[in-house]
């Protein structure tokens, strides 16, 4: 009788631990890992571009507070190639919604025609 109760307890414990791991895996696959701590729209760090050099190395262009950093990621070593890169002037540092409308409105206010 007691052995049956121990086996039930052990089976329930294994089932609960397996469910916890399954939910953690699903949350990680859906991308809930880092998004729970930061509020939406308040991010300071983003990946601008990734370039695979070969099977072992990648170049990653990160953007933090409007400044870009180039990092070489490998299997054993990670190297900061260049830091403090200012984005090109022809691209806005932050994507602005409705920028075409804003430009046409500014042209209208200045009196010039597009």
Q: How far is CA 34 from CA 24, 52, 76, 86, in A?
A: 13, 24, 24, 26
Q: Where do the domains of the chain lie?
A: 1-40, 44-91
For the ranges 44-48, 94-98, 105-109, the maximum mean pLDDT occurs at 44-48
Confidence of residue 106 (pLDDT cuts 50, 70, 90): low
Residue of 52, 54, 80, 53 whose CA lies nearest to 68: 80
67-102: per-residue pLDDT in tens? 899 999 998 888 888 888 887 776 555 555 556 666
1-30: per-residue pLDDT in tens? 778 899 999 999 999 999 999 999 888 888
Confidence of residue 37 (pLDDT cuts 50, 70, 90): low
């Amino acid at each position: 009788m007691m052995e049956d109760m121990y086996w039930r307890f052990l089976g329930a414990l294994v089932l609960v631990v397996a469910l916890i791991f399954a939910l953690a895996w699903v949350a990680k696959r859906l991308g809930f890992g880092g998004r729970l701590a930061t509020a939406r729209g308040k991010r300071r760090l983003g990946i601008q571009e990734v370039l695979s050099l070969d099977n072992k190395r990648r170049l990653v262009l990160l953007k933090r507070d409007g400044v870009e950093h180039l990092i070489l990621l490998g299997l054993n070593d990670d190297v900061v190639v260049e830091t403090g890169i200012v984005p090109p002037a022809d691209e806005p540092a932050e994507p602005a919604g409705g920028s075409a409308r804003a430009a046409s409105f500014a042209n209208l206010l200045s009196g010039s025609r597009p």
